[in-house]
Chains A and B, each alone.
Chain A
């Protein structure tokens, strides 16, 4: 959270934190407090010498810069009415769920983040993701429904950060389908039934 408020998180993890904050007023309160800390520090900063011409230069440049009208937040997308506002900019008119091998659906999000793969996953109740384990950090935020793995039960707004357990297989809870944002630092390694066929790393004996 400190990294988020300081602005040092990469775009993928920053989106995960923003979505968690959208569901959790207490966490939002803490995040706003930390942002206020930045304001306090900048206000208490000693004033550096600024070139006397700087103000003139900037005022000159303002002639070509108009004050932007108040931005309208994108309206809720009819197909993605569960999406918090922070996610809407990434869901375009042509965004569609894509069926993936293993019985789940995915939307890959295009963030300017070279380190992380950021996507939305949708699992029907009772369905699970293939057994897998993580090679790097992973951030998960549940946006609808819930899922359970051997570490516990996760519901809307929950934020999970791992490497966590060595190996896990999340199963969607009964009720509505489970939708979650997944931010992954490095590709996961499939270790279950599918993994044997899909993951060349397994065949190479990297496990």
Chain B
């Protein structure tokens, strides 16, 4: 296992001294997970592995823009993997928004950055919240958000009425948002 702190240290080692051993450790942990994530979107094993490799090369290239104050490594790698998955899907057309553009957007530059709540806290809090959701809500949220499935496709897959899927997603998001907003008020 890799703790959030260890992962952040590894990315910083790449940024500071092009540390290949640090990269290899990140690769061993994340490449298989990215591959699974991409396969959830319907890609075959070979294509998914290609996306995982491309995403990890991007991790190397962009290591200097990682900022542990703004995002956890898992979140940062998720945004990279997600963009690579979109690139792969749009291979025939024009590429999606450049990963680097999106990273700028995701972590608004300097003066607009919000560091009042540290990324690690947000991550930890979201994790607790996610774990506290009823499992039926976790399942639909995962499918809608992570597997990028339409509500109708989820309903079909789970053999549930569309209204039920929608209300579970709404309810799960409502709880996450409420908890985040409460936290925001405290700071």
Q: How far is A72 from B1 in the complex, measured between Cα atoms in Å?
A: 34
Do residues A54 and B53 form an inter-chain contact, with CB atoms below 8 A? yes
B28 interface contact, C-beta 8 A: yes
Please report A residues at the B interface, Cβ cutoff 8 Å: 2, 5-8, 11, 14-15, 18, 21-22, 25-26, 28-30, 32-43, 45-51, 54-55, 57-59, 61-62, 65-71, 73, 84-86, 89, 112, 114
B155 interface contact, C-beta 8 A: no
A-B contact pairs, 30 of them (CB 8 A): A2-B173, A5-B145, A6-B146, A6-B148, A7-B79, A7-B83, A29-B114, A29-B122, A29-B181, A32-B119, A33-B126, A35-B71, A36-B126, A37-B141, A37-B176, A38-B82, A39-B73, A39-B75, A39-B77, A40-B123, A40-B127, A42-B77, A43-B74, A50-B49, A55-B27, A65-B57, A67-B63, A67-B64, A69-B64, A85-B104
Task: Contacts A36-B75, A40-B130 given; indicate if A73 touches B109 (C-beta within 8 A).
Answer: yes
A39, A62, A86: the one contacting B60 at CB < 8 Å is: A62
Q: B interface, by DSSP: helix, strand, loop or mixed? A: helix
Q: Which residue of A lies closest to B70 (CB)?
A: A32
A45, A57, A68: the one contacting B37 at CB < 8 Å is: A45
Task: Contacts A11-B97, A45-B37 given; indicate if A65 touches B60 (C-beta within 8 A).
Answer: yes
B153 interface contact, C-beta 8 A: no
B14 interface contact, C-beta 8 A: yes
B62 interface contact, C-beta 8 A: yes
Q: Which residue of B lies closest to A23 (CB)?
A: B112
Q: Across chains A and B, which 5 residue pairs bring their CB atoms closest together, nearest first?
A: A39-B75, A39-B74, A47-B32, A73-B109, A38-B78
B45 interface contact, C-beta 8 A: yes
B134 interface contact, C-beta 8 A: no
> Which among B79, B110, B126 has the greatest number of chain A C-beta atoms within 10 A?
B126
Q: Which residue of A lies closest to B73 (CB)?
A: A39
B78 vs chain A, min Cβ distance (A): 4
Q: Which residues of A contact B86 (CB under 8 A)?
A: 7
Give per-residue flags for B68-97: 1 if the beta carbon is below 8 A from chain A beta carbons, else 0.
Answer: 000111111111011100100000001111
Do residues B64 and A7 form an inter-chain contact, with CB atoms below 8 A? no
Q: Which residues of B contact A59 (CB under 8 A)?
A: 20, 23-24
A8, A33, A47, A112: the one contacting B176 at CB < 8 Å is: A33
B32, B79, B114: the one contacting A50 at CB < 8 Å is: B32
Q: Which residue of B lies closest to A40 (CB)?
A: B127
Q: A interface, by DSSP: helix, strand, loop or mixed? A: helix
Please report B residues at the A interface, Cβ cutoff 8 Å: 14-15, 18, 20, 23-24, 27-28, 30-37, 39, 45, 48-49, 52-53, 56-57, 60-65, 71-79, 81-83, 86, 94-97, 100-102, 104-106, 108-112, 114, 116-117, 119, 122-123, 125-127, 130, 141-142, 144-146, 148, 173, 176-177, 180-181, 183-184
Task: Contacts A67-B18, A84-B112, A85-B108 given; indicate if A42 touches B57 (C-beta within 8 A).
Answer: no
Q: How far is A35 from B146 in the complex, measured between Cα atoms in Å?
A: 11
Q: Which residues of A contact B24 (CB under 8 A)?
A: 55, 59
Q: How far is A188 from B155 in the complex, measured between Cα atoms in Å?
A: 34
Q: Which residue of A lies closest to B127 (CB)?
A: A40
A34, A36, A46, A57: the one contacting B119 at CB < 8 Å is: A36
Do residues B49 and A71 form an inter-chain contact, with CB atoms below 8 A? no
Do residues A37 and B32 form an inter-chain contact, with CB atoms below 8 A? no
Do residues A47 and B82 form an inter-chain contact, with CB atoms below 8 A? no
B166 vs chain A, min Cβ distance (A): 12
Q: How far is A28 from B60 in the complex, measured between Cα atoms in Å?
A: 27
Q: Which residues of B contact A85 (CB under 8 A)?
A: 104, 108-112
Q: How far is A5 from B79 in the complex, measured between Cα atoms in Å?
A: 9
Q: Which residue of A lies closest to B31 (CB)?
A: A50
